[in-house]
Structure 1
């Protein structure tokens, strides 16, 4: 349960102001069809984060528990710093052929935008840390939906109402706390 809750919270906070949240706003404004957009976000996130979680689980088998502890600690500290750097939406993320439809365009755009993104990297680290692929992927997916579904349904007003700097600072503190805990060996078996 801890893996699910931590994954949900961290990704929901990390996603505020992220380029994929900006993409959700852009898709909502462009297509004005929230159901296929939300469905595309869900499927893209499940696919992307399942692959990222599998990589995280695989990393554990390569480097062992001690290497994992140091790698995770440093990764979480790096994520804390990265959270303080604002994201920008790449122009290429929104230029998909109309032939894919709203669902297809959202699925492709979100999947590609999430490659190498903060939340994907966090999913790799969380899956390695908790060694619980299902709960981590479920948590990171729910976290993505918690941040992006309101952006789709309520549009720019909802996104602008949140104090993005405060949310990013909170997420940075959470990542830093996880990094310090990992380096200290908290929760190791």
Structure 2
């Protein structure tokens, strides 16, 4: 349960302001919100299952030295904080592809999200969480966290358009990553 709750919260925060949210808003303008959410959910579940598998393999390779994993995970989270502050934007070309995608909505959305999430900070954050937490809770929680954040983007985007408080979202997400990072590093150093 802890892995589920932690992963849901961390990935929800990581997804705030991410280009995937912008893609979700763009797809929602073209397709029904339900179809967009189903496509996002399927793609996210697949990507995060792979991420969890990688994380578990890394965690098992270092079972003798969990302090090293905590320190590396903490440093990764500090890197995610910096990545979040740098920002993540949807290029005009990516927005145009989302607007003009052809075919079934589920296939278009699912494929676009699957490809967009490979190597993204939410995928890497899921790998990092899975090095120390239970795989199933991490997988389900990270998938839920991302879907909730993208659903929020669709809903808020429909109501407020582009007047989202982008700076507040960016700084809040970066601060959350930094806090998790510092706590993990301190845990690895034996401060707890």
TM-score interval w.r.t. the shorter chain? 0.7 to 0.9
Q: 1:162 to 1:92 in 2, by over 3 A?
A: closer
RMSD, matched Cα: 2.4
- In the TM superposition, residue 157 of structure 1 has moved relative to its aligned partner by 3.5
Q: 1:53 to 1:159 in 2, by over 3 A?
A: farther
Q: 1:148 to 1:39 in 2, by over 3 A?
A: same
Could you list the runs of 5+ residues in structure 1 that have no partner in the other structure?
none
- TM-score of the two chains, using structure 2 as the length reference: 0.85
The aligned counterpart of 2:157 is 155
- In the TM superposition, residue 78 of structure 1 has moved relative to its aligned partner by 0.7
- In the TM superposition, residue 56 of structure 1 has moved relative to its aligned partner by 0.8
Q: Is the 8 A contact 1:24 1:151 kept in 2?
A: yes
- In the TM superposition, residue 142 of structure 1 has moved relative to its aligned partner by 1.3
Q: Is the 8 A contact 1:150 1:158 kept in 2?
A: no
- Does 2:27 align with 1:27? yes
- In the TM superposition, residue 67 of structure 1 has moved relative to its aligned partner by 2.6
Aligned equivalents of 1:176, 1:37: Cα separation in 2 = 31
Aligned equivalents of 2:14, 2:140: Cα separation in 1 = 16
2:184 aligned residue (168, 182, 185): 182
State the SS of the aligned residue for 2:119.
coil
2:167 aligned residue (159, 165, 176): 165
State the SS of the aligned residue for 2:53.
helix
- In the TM superposition, residue 22 of structure 1 has moved relative to its aligned partner by 0.4
- TM-score of the two chains, using structure 1 as the length reference: 0.87
Any residues of structure 2 matched to 1:101-140 within 5 Å, and which? 101-130=104-133, 132-140=134-142
